[in-house]
Amino acid sequence: MNELKIITLKESVFENNDLDAQALRQELTSHGTFLINLMASPGAGKTTLLSALIPLLQKELSVAVMEADIDSSVDAETIAKLGVRTIQLHTGGMCHLDADMCRQGLYELGYEGFDLVILENVGNLVCPAEFDTGAHMNMTILSVPEGHDKPLKYPLMYQSCSLLAVNKIDVLPYFDFDMGKLTEYAKMRNPDISIMPVSAKTGEGVEALAKYILNVISSAAK
Amino acid sequence: MNELKIITLKESVFENNDLDAQALRQELTSHGTFLINLMASPGAGKTTLLSALIPLLQKELSVAVMEADIDSSVDAETIAKLGVRTIQLHTGGMCHLDADMCRQGLYELGYEGFDLVILENVGNLVCPAEFDTGAHMNMTILSVPEGHDKPLKYPLMYQSCSLLAVNKIDVLPYFDFDMGKLTEYAKMRNPDISIMPVSAKTGEGVEALAKYILNVISSAAK
């Protein structure tokens, strides 16, 4: 196994992140690389869901992963075991990634030649949603134990994502979680959001989620 | 029931938050009010644990609560039902509270005469840990479904807290959660951290937690 590459991101020098993100997105598109920005609370199951999802996506696409964390490399080590190219990004205490920080990661990764790069953003339901990373798709995960009221409290996360995976549905019997209310609250923030229930642990719903993502990517390529 | 007071916090004008926090802490101490800053991920169970804890604390102390959120008032409504004075603080999108924002809340609340004020900070494991709110004690909650690796990934939160409540222990059988590893990782960040397992849902451990908090407050008053 190759040694895991860890890079510490520098703060951006660009004043206008939206413009910078747009430029990065166009650059990626011109190389045929689709970028997904995955955001969620700490412990929602980002890494575990990616571990279940990536083998299915790899049947159709070449995939690479960027793991952003404040500290540690435990997630990147987990993902690297799947045999996909993985890079660990350390934010040096920062709570989010903007487009330039994302670009630093993509260049270190060597993104060209990959059909799909997934950025696992810092575990945080607030700050990452404020910054366009240059991704083609923003995705979030809400895990059942977190409760169905999260779209009420963290509006921007749900507004900025087109896909919401509801993870840990295997423990639904043990929590007071109302899927109907979650759907209502999430659609209140973003009427077009797609909601997909999954369990990264048991695998339930993961195939449908992979299919959904592959469809979005192939539609974007047309 | 009184109508719930909701205030929108203004950004601080103070350049040195640490000095400002120190001044606020001294002001609170001189009025005999102890301030707890409660921080955790979204969905860790901050409000549910407070709902179980406050009736026990109220047997000994007069308690008031400040609920900080980006949007919505669902948590403040829950706490107000306990019959404690509660105020909802809206951060206007901001991911944390500093000392001056905390002071705005305390003044609107009318903190004088209360032995204990609990600030429920914005659900976020990153940013709130960076700002001294003027509290006498920082407390965090980690819920079992989040996983035992969180102190590895979010070092500052565990460094800055003297008390860690491990919540949702009623669902331990359904998750791969290693209490030994959690203890090891948390102590690595802060050797003096106190770790208390609880279930806000079943009430297990809540009495011991209340006793611990009451001891800290009475020691501080000496």
pLDDT at B114: 97
Tell me how far apart the alpha carbons of residues B44 and B198 are, in angstroms, rounded to a whole number: 12
Spell out the residues 6+ positions from residue B118 whose beta carbon is closer than 8 angstroms to its own.
B35, B36, B38, B50, B54, B63, B64, B65, B66
* Rg, C-alpha atoms of chain B: 16
pLDDT band at A222 (very low <50, low <70, confident <90, very high): confident
The residue ranges of DSSP E strands in A55-211, in sequence order, are: 63-69, 85-90, 116-120, 137-143, 163-167, 194-197
* Averaged pLDDT of chain A: 94
For chain A, the domain total comes to 1
Q: How far is B55 from chain A (nearest CA, A)?
A: 22
Residue B42's closest CA among A49, A50, A142?
A142
Domain that holds residue B55: 5-10+17-221
Q: Is A76 on the interface with B (CB under 8 A)?
A: no
Q: What 8-state DSSP symbol labels residue A200?
A: T
DSSP type of residue A131: S
pLDDT in tens, B27-71: 999 999 999 999 999 999 999 999 999 999 999 999 999 999 988
Place of tokens 């690796």: B149
pLDDT number for residue B11: 73
Phi first, then psi: give them for residue A144, nearest 5 degrees.
-50, -45
Tell me if chain A has a CB within 8 Å of the CB of B88: no
User: Are A171 and B168 a contacting pair at CB < 8 A?
Assistant: no
Residue A7 three-state SS: strand
From chain B, pick out residues whose CB is under 8 angstroms from the CB of A125: 41-42, 123-124
What percentage of residues in chain A have a pLDDT greater than 90?
A: 88
Smallest Cβ distance to B124: which of A75, A124, A170?
Answer: A124
Which residues of B fall within a CB distance of 8 Å from A156?
70, 93
User: Position of tokens 């949702």?
Assistant: B168
How far apart (Å, rounded) are the C-alpha atoms in residues A125 and B123? 8
H/E stretch holding A187 reads: helix A179-189
Taking an 8 Å cut-off on Cβ atoms, the answer to whether B74 and A125 are in contact is: no
Q: Does A82 touch chain B (CB under 8 A)?
A: no
Q: B222 or A31: which carries more pLDDT confidence?
A: A31
> Would the CB atoms of B155 and A71 count as touching at under 8 Å?
yes
Listed by number, the residues of chain B in 40-59 with a beta carbon closer than 8 Å to a beta carbon of chain A are 41-43
Residue type, B215: N
Contact in structure between A122 and A91 (CB atoms under 8 Å):
yes
CB < 8 Å to B49, chain A? none
Mutation target among A122, A126, A150 for the B interface, most CBs of B within 10 A: A126
DSSP β-bridge partners for residue A117: A35, A64
What pLDDT was estimated at residue B1?
A: 44
Minimal C-alpha gap between A133 and chain B (Å): 18
For residue A128, the chain B residue with the least C-alpha distance is B95
The span from the CA of A19 to the CA of A15, in Å, is: 9
The pLDDT of A65-71, averaged and rounded, is 93
When pLDDT is cut at 50, 70 and 90, the band that residue A7 belongs to is: confident
Give me the pLDDT at residue B92, please.
82
For residue A115, the one-letter residue type is D
Closest Cα of chain A to B218: distance in Å? 33
Structure tokens at B8: 């929108």
**Nearest by Cα to B71 from B101, B43, B91:** B91
Cα R_g (chain A), whole angstroms: 16
* Interval A17-47: pLDDT, tens: 999 999 999 999 999 999 999 999 999 999 9
Which are the contacts of A215, defined by CB distance < 8 A and separation ≥ 6?
none
Tens digits of residue pLDDT in B153-207:
999 999 999 999 999 999 999 999 999 999 999 999 999 999 999 999 999 999 9
Quick check: B144 and B166 in contact, CB under 8 A?
A: yes
* Interacting residues of A143 by C-beta distance below 8 A, sequence separation 6+: A40, A41, A43, A44, A45, A166, A167, A168, B43, B145
**CATH code for position A32:** 3.40.50.300
DSSP annotation of A6: E
- A78 confidence band (pLDDT: 50, 70, 90): very high
Query: What confidence score (pLDDT) does residue A1 get?
Result: 44
The tokens of A35 are what?
């970028």
**Average pLDDT estimate for A160-176:** 97
pLDDT in tens, B90-118: 988 888 999 999 999 999 999 999 999 99
Supply the pLDDT for residue B2. 52
Q: Which of A1-5, A30-34, A72-76 is predicted most confidently? A: A30-34
CB B21 within 8 A of CB B174: no
Angular region, A11: left φ>0, alpha ψ -120 to 50, beta rest: beta
Q: Could you tell me if B156 lies within 8 Å of chain A, comparing CB atoms?
A: yes
| DSSP3 helix / strand / coil % (chain B, rounded to 5) | 40, 20, 40
pLDDT number for residue A2: 52
Q: A187 is written with which tokens?
A: 């659609």
* Contact between chains at A153 and B71 (C-beta distance less than 8 A): yes
